[in-house]
C-alpha cells in the first residue's frame, strides 16, 4: 500500500509539471487552489499535498502559507568544479550573479575552520564572508579561509579568475547540520522557508600537499543545480 501511495504522489507531481508547461505559467504565477486541483484529479487534498511536496523539494514551486503555491524561478546551474571560483563558472555567469559581503558567520562554520587550520590562529588568516545572489535571490552564504602565505597563489580569493595549475582541491557535500532549525540570521540572509533545504559544501584547496585555503558554503539546495563532469562507471 505505501508503494502505491508513493506512485500516486509521483503521478500527481508529473501532472502538475505538465499543467505548468501547458498553461505556460511563469515565475510568480499562482497554481490553482488545493480544492480545485484535488477535485480535478479526484484525489484527497492530503494526497495532493504529497505531490506538491515533491515539486517544492525540487524547487519548482514555492508554498506561501495562507496564500497557496507559486511558480519558482528556474534553478541556478553552477559547475561543481568551480564552486568556490564563481567568476570562472561560465554556466553561472550566464545569469545575473552577484557576490556581496555579509557580516555574519555561523558558529558551526567557525568551528570547522578552526579544526581544519589548527594550530594556525584565524586572526592570522585571510577570511571572507559573502552572500551569493542570482537575479536578486540569495542562493548561498560563502565563507573563505586562506593562509597568509597563499596570498600570492590565490589573490582576491574567491574572486580569483585565474586558477594556478599547481593547485588541486577536494569537495564534500552534506546536509547542513542545522537545516531543520537554522538560526534567524541564516533564515533572514537566505530568505528560506520551511520547504527549503540547506547543503554544506566544503572545498579544500591544496598546494604541495598542504591545505592553503578552505571554502565553506551554506547553499539553498532547492535553488541550485550542481553540475559535475564526473561520470559514474
Give the domains, in start order, of the chain with CATH numbers. 2-71 (1.10.10.10), 76-227 (3.40.1410.10)
- Please list the pLDDT of the chain residue by residue as tens digits (233 residues): 333 445 588 888 888 888 888 888 888 889 999 999 888 888 888 888 888 888 887 778 888 888 888 888 788 999 999 999 999 999 999 999 999 999 999 998 999 998 988 776 777 889 999 999 998 899 999 999 998 888 889 998 999 888 888 899 999 999 887 666 788 999 999 998 877 889 999 999 999 888 999 999 999 998 998 998 765 44
* Grid cell in block for residue 65: 502559507
Whether 212 contacts 153, CB under 8 Å = yes
Cβ–Cβ under 8 Å, residues 15 and 48: no
Predicted pLDDT of residue 2: 36
Judge contact between 141 and 130, C-beta under 8 A: yes
pLDDT at 67: 86
**Per-residue confidence (pLDDT) for residue 100, from 0 to 100:** 94
Joined together, the cell numbers standing for residue 36 give: 480545485
Whether the CB-CB separation of 175 and 200 falls below 8 Å is answered with yes
The predicted model scores a pTM of: 0.77
| Distance from C-alpha of 27 to C-alpha of 33, rounded to nearest angstrom | 17
- Report CA-CA distances (Å) from 86 to 26, 98, 105, 206, 212: 27, 10, 20, 18, 18
User: Which of 145, 150, 138, 146 is CA-nearest to residue 99?
Assistant: 138
- pLDDT value at position 104? 94
Q: Is 59 exposed, middle or buried (0-12, 13-18, 19+ CB in 10 A)?
A: buried
Q: Please report the pLDDT score of residue 178 as a whole number.
A: 65
Amino acid at each position: 500500500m505505501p508503494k502505491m501511495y508513493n506512485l500516486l504522489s509521483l503521478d500527481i507531481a508529473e501532472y502538475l509539471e505538465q499543467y505548468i508547461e501547458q498553461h505556460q505559467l511563469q515565475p510568480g504565477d499562482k497554481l490553482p487552489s488545493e480544492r480545485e486541483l484535488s477535485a480535478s484529479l479526484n484525489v484527497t487534498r492530503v494526497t495532493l499535498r504529497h505531490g506538491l511536496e515533491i515539486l517544492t523539494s525540487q524547487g519548482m514551486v514555492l508554498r506561501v502559507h495562507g496564500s497557496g503555491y507559486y511558480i519558482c524561478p528556474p534553478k541556478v546551474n553552477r559547475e561543481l568544479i568551480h564552486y568556490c571560483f564563481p567568476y570562472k563558472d561560465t554556466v553561472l555567469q550566464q545569469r545575473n550573479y552577484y557576490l556581496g559581503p555579509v557580516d555574519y558567520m555561523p558558529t558551526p562554520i567557525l568551528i570547522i575552520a578552526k579544526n581544519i587550520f589548527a594550530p594556525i590562529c584565524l586572526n592570522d588568516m585571510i577570511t571572507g564572508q559573502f552572500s551569493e545572489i542570482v537575479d536578486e535571490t540569495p542562493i548561498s552564504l560563502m565563507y573563505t579561509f586562506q593562509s597568509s602565505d597563499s596570498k600570492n597563489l590565490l589573490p582576491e580569493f574567491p574572486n580569483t579568475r585565474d586558477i594556478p595549475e599547481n593547485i588541486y582541491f577536494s569537495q564534500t557535500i552534506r546536509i547542513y547540520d542545522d537545516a531543520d532549525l537554522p538560526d534567524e540570521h541564516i533564515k533572514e540572509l537566505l530568505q528560506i522557508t520551511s520547504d527549503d533545504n540547506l547543503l554544506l559544501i566544503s572545498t579544500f584547496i591544496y598546494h604541495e600537499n598542504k591545505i592553503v585555503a578552505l571554502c565553506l558554503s551554506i547553499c539553498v539546495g532547492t535553488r541550485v543545480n550542481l553540475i559535475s563532469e564526473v561520470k559514474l562507471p
